[in-house]
Homo-oligomer: A and B are copies of this chain.
Amino acid sequence: MTDQVIAGVDLSRLRELNSLTVVRALRDQPPTTVTELAALTGLSRPAVDVIAQGLVGSGWAKVVEPGASSTVGRPARRYRFNATAGHVLGVDVGGHKILALIADLDGNVVHTARRSIGADADPGERLAALDEIIATALREAGKTAHDIWAVTVGVTGPVDATGRTTLFTPLPGWQTVDLAAHLKDRFACPIVVENDCKLAALAERWLGVARDADDIVFLLAGMRMGAGLIIDGTLRRGYGGAAGEIGALKALRWLAAPGHLQNCPGVPASVSPDDAAAWVFNAARDGNRDARTALNRYVKDVALGAAALVLALDPQVVVFGGGFSRSADLVLEPLSRELAKLCLRVPEVRASTLGADSVALGALRLALIEVDQRLFSVGLSAPVAPRR
């Protein structure tokens, strides 16, 4: 079918493959003995031994000398994956705030930097704030740009293959911004720009409430509605990066959905438009009749778009996330009920637990996936760090 190069396996490549296998096993395990690794990989003990020592030499693994052993026999030396060999950076450029996380190769967050920014900030201000917060995060974490092996930035609006949001974005003036190009001067590593909903979906499967599922429809519910799709365990972007943008279909009323909350009668004039939804949720909890009506209408509209996604993809789980997920207690049950009415096979509906950090966490996850892919295609030989 394809005419691309079909890779025959050379003997040196064999060793590399087995090294990668050991790395993979090491990474998913607490510090491990050679014998355990041998059992895990199916390789012989001597082979694993040689490989493990090689990995220590090249920095991928560290030796843990045996301490007080609890078993009989000679205590075994243990090896652990050297997660601090490299780090990744994940950033969420939101309307109101910028959040940057730095994590090691295991995904442990080692530093967090947050800054709020006006929703009407122009692209120049926003980029300057981004640069500043990245610089701050690196400095405070004691890292330089060369310690970072991959960068992912989340923005609102569909992102195309080049990392631009030309189709549409709610950030003022952002249509013409080429964020990847902007960051390319600061980092030598791969830089990925991705849609915020898609990143949040990744986070939810990584650390959140959908860890067990391979087919997930993630709903980012806030003043804007969005969705991220994970199918067969992989984030799907679509051909032009616009997968999940079901809100564009007016018949499904996603655009209008948050309006029911914002324009709910009875919201005091003292409450700012941004906080109206929170007020309505609280009022609904207290039994306010207008608030309950608004909530009902909101859920019905959300369910309609969600049903379209569910019918299209037949996921195992629908995750209700985003800013409004704090009020999931009010939404989950009626949303589930509406979906049951509209869909053929009804998926589970769960509430997100990651809250406001989900986009930045998802950015970390995507950066780690990027490192992984290069690791398992390029190989261990070259350090995975800079491209040039």
* Chain A interface (Cβ < 8 Å from any Cβ of B): 1-3, 5-11, 14, 17-18, 21-22, 24-25, 28, 40-43, 47, 158, 167-168, 213-215, 229, 231-232, 234, 236-249, 251-252, 304, 307-309, 311-316, 342-345, 347
Contact = CB atoms under 8 A, between A and B. Distances in A.
B238 A41 contact: no
* Shortest 6 CB-CB contacts between residues of A and residues of B: A238-B314, A8-B43, A8-B41, A239-B316, A242-B314, A312-B312
Given A6-B24, A9-B14, A18-B8, A314 B42 contact: no
A81 to B, nearest CB: 13
Q: How many copies does the complex hold?
A: 2
B243 A314 contact: yes
Contacts of A21: 6-9
Contact of A347 (B6, B237, B239, B244): B239
Contacts of A236: 231-232, 313
B307 A249 contact: yes
Contacts of A314: 158, 237-245
A28 B4 CA distance: 11
B17 A9 contact: yes
B315 A308 contact: no
B311 A246 contact: yes
A218 B11 CA distance: 44
Contact of A313 (B9, B214, B238, B251): B238
Given A40-B6, A251-B304, A344 B312 contact: no
A242 B22 CA distance: 39
A183 to B, nearest CB: 25
A46 to B, nearest CB: 12
A251 B248 contact: no
A349 to B, nearest CB: 14
Given A6-B21, A312-B312, A345 B240 contact: yes
Contacts of A241: 314
